[in-house]
Structure 1
């Protein structure tokens, strides 16, 4: 498996986000007030074309960053242990994710 990498804490304290991959797992970490919001999904698609499998918040501290790292490594192991998908399955996952996002956007516009 590819290494799970996170920048140093000051990267997030300076209000920078981080998006990367570890094998087939994709992840994004965004600073939100005093927390780090972390999201994971299975690739190969980027965030806009995927379904987030879990979003979790960690304190924006050195300990929180280590907890986030352990959580991310566990997710990477889980996602990368899955059997590879066919091209048809991958395209169907992308289409389903787009449909859900479009439906959510339409619902927001109606409110």
Structure 2
């Protein structure tokens, strides 16, 4: 497994978000209402705005929630990084599909 890191609880308690990666897996964690951690995961290489979100999850804003979040991220990292590498054409097509989907959502 690659290097995986989540900040300490106080980082999120101070209303800071966190975005990072573990090889091809990308994730974003955002504190909500001082009570929850909202997380999103996607396959890279593109950033959040150019990618299809594979799953969203919510965890308590607590040490237990951080432990649950880490396990969730590690499971996704294993799944995404186990996939065969994509060709450049496949990667560009994924990016285009994600952009089109976001455009359609914005228009509706």
What interval of TM-score do these two structures reach, taking the shorter chain for normalisation?
A: over 0.9
**SS state of the match for residue 67, structure 2?**
helix
Deviation digits for residues 26-47 of structure 1, max 9, x if unmatched? Answer: 0000001100001100000000
Mapped partners of 2:27, 2:2: distance in 1 = 13
Equivalent position of 2:95 in the other structure:
94
Whether 1:27 and 2:21 are equivalent positions in the alignment is no
Deviation digits for residues 4-54 of structure 1, max 9, x if unmatched? Answer: 210000000000000000010000000011000011000000000001000
The runs of at least 4 aligned residues of structure 1 exceeding 4 Å deviation read none
Which aligned pairs between 1:51-66 and structure 2 lie closer than 5 A? 51-66=52-67
Mapped partners of 1:18, 1:2: distance in 2 = 18
Please report the TM-score for the alignment, with normalisation by the length of structure 1: 0.95
> Unaligned stretches of 5+ in structure 2?
none
RMSD between aligned residues: 0.5
| Residue 95 of structure 1: how far off its partner (Å) | 0.1
Please report the TM-score for the alignment, with normalisation by the length of structure 2: 0.98
